[in-house]
Structure 1
Amino acid sequence: MSEDLDAQLIAALQQDGRASYSELAARVGAPRTAVSARVQALLGSGAVEIVAVAHPQLLGLTSLAHVSVAVSGPADDVVEALCATDASVFVSAVSGAYDLVAELRVSSAHELYEALAGLRALPRVRAVNTLLYTDVVTSVFMPQGPLRGDVRVDDTDRRLIELLERDGRMPYVELARRAGMSPSAARARVGRLVTSRALHVAAVVRRGTGGSGGSGRPALGAGLNLGGDDAHVTGFLAALPGVEFVARTVGRFDLVVTVGADSTTRLHRVTERLKALDGVRGLTTWAHLEVFKEHYSRGVARTSA
């Protein structure tokens, strides 16, 4: 019962990390007291963290890529190098033909090439395969859609973003106190940032943290090869419970997907449904075995105003 409730709460918090306990209770159909207890338990265990992420465009990050790395021998040195670079927001050991996958977010194609060149030059790296994101269809790790053209942020907005990066569920009273404004003004500012897609606040499952609840949720990556129009497939994926990320890509796959579930059995059922979809010509999957880095927050520079 609690595992099912946890899964529903995680899904709801991935949509809106600042939803109130009353709103969450209405969404999952459970008593508010039970919802409050489970959310606090998940957050307290470190299994789930509520993070605020500014839109990559607001940060000047216009080149996003999924990188698969094959390593000869132990991967420790390669993992350390990937985790140390600011370009990487996600680094994971995986099963399958490659040993590691990473997501890179940088400011230009040239910067991406330089990052990949540095990765290829590492002694144990024997192959690097890169997929360029052309469009992020859905993601719990960033705002959805392009940044609105009329977005302007000032020092107060930056301060609120910084505070929410540290604690995505910080109460408005505390946000207001630290930012030097009224709670109603803080609420209005945060609402404007979210509505304009400058900011997204959501739950991130910390896999392999050793805590209870969400840390035991396995995750699967998948690369899809499509035939014809992808609208049917992307629409199906965007609505599928457990899907955390979908991106259109240029490279060996047409779509890259991340799916989380409370068991490997459910992940298997998802892959079977994907293989049965009209338009899916090929499916390659990999299991996330250990996540070494998952850090999507980055302060908004003053030049972004």
Structure 2
Amino acid sequence: MTITIERKWNDINAVDGVSDAEDNLDVSYLLHADNDEDEQDIVTFIQNDANIPYEYLGLQKTRVGFGRHEDTEDYWSATASYASKASGLAVVKLAAGQSRWSVIGGSGQTARRTFAKALVSEHHPTGASRPTLSGTKAELALGLTYRDGKYEIDGIDVPIGSTQVAVQTVWSHANAVTGGRVVAAAEYADIHVTNLVPWNGFAAGTLQIESIQSRQRAGDDPDWDVDMLFNFSRNLTNINLGSGVVIPSKLGHQVLDILYAPETVGGFPCSVIKRAAVLDVFDSISFASVFGI
């Protein structure tokens, strides 16, 4: 990879080298890439503090934007924004073992599932026929429907994005690579595991990992910057579905699946609850042992 800075210029607002709350500046760069570098190569280059410094004229970097010039494939522009620590915009660089947390609105994404991994509990209305599926081949089915005299599996949309919790942390090189955290985190993020035990104040079962990004710092600093995103869903107790069906408890990312079947009530055909089940769809692990915080 061959990327060079061909030009650099500042857009300065009241910067005198002594950081005040109102101080801020943008530093613009013209980058030349002469070996068919792609977008990821540019990202790697601008994330290196040796190329675009973290601190400049007493200020700290808040963001870096970049884009390719429309009239050429070889030139890119990048702009680094700097602000005073006192402004609240500058983000203090974390050291190994430290973390930064934030809560954000979720994506509301779902994934289609037809079977769960474990049946947690099964419940039925009072005084009605009870299709007990525990111990049968159908006990893990999701979206059971009674149709044309038989039960069919339609599947259900399982939420994998609600309120979200973002975590930034730093792993030492030994923990990230030798300790296997990079590989383990990638594997568990791929299957969206949930927290088996309480973690940093969050109750067991309420967090599910959505994504993780880890990258080694450039230069003489061997540590790894890590960004993790978790989906949050609160645990529920005493869920009253009516017809005498009350679910004692459901962990945040467990699934509540309800089976309805046709029945004549008061002379009118309608669908009534025949079975409600709480199921585990995702694997669970101890987050502290994998993520190190």
Q: Normalized per residue, which structure has more strand?
A: 2
More helix, by proportion: 1
Relative contact order higher in (CA < 8 Å, ≥ 6 apart): 1
Give the structure-2-normalised TM-score: 0.22
Which is higher, the Rg of structure 1 or of structure 2? 2
Q: TM-score, normalised by structure 1?
A: 0.22
